[in-house]
């Protein structure tokens, strides 16, 4: 033969192609599963983080004699009422 390439039987080639198709199908299933898991974990993390409030509301009451801040440590007339 003038050709140095080995002749591969047709049935061996077909068998290898079928095997590679199965491998590619498994890889696509894995990629889709990983994308779904990524979206799920990100959604769970956002839900978990939305349970917390990162701001504090303060109510200020002024009656003319001084300022009384209610909430977050009461301060009345410049002294901390928690120290009493």
Name the percent of the chain in helix, strand, coil, to the closest 5: 50, 15, 35
Find the range with the poorest average confidence among 10-24, 29-43, 45-59.
45-59
Q: Which residue has the higher pLDDT, 5 or 23?
A: 23
Mean per-residue pLDDT for 9-35? Answer: 93
Q: What is the CA radius of gyration of the chain?
A: 35
CA distance 19 to 12: 11
Three-state SS string across 4-35, please? CCCCCCHHHHHHHHHHHHHHHHHHHHHHHHHH
pLDDT at site 50 = 86
Find the range with the poorest average confidence among 8-12, 17-21, 77-81.
77-81
N-to-C CA span, the chain = 106
Residues with Cβ within 8 Å of 80's Cβ and at least 6 positions away in sequence, in order, are 73, 74
pLDDT at site 65 = 63
Domain ranges of the chain: 8-52, 57-84
- pTM (predicted TM-score): 0.50
């Amino acid at each position: 033969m003038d050709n140095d390439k080995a002749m591969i039987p047709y049935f061996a080639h077909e068998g290898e192609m079928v095997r590679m198709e199965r491998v590619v199908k498994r890889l696509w299933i894995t990629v889709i599963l990983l994308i779904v898991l990524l979206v799920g974990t990100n959604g769970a993390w956002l839900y978990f983080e939305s349970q917390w409030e990162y701001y504090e509301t303060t109510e200020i009451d002024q009656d003319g004699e001084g300022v009384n801040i209610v909430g977050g440590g009461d301060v009345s007339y410049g002294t901390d009422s928690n120290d009493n």
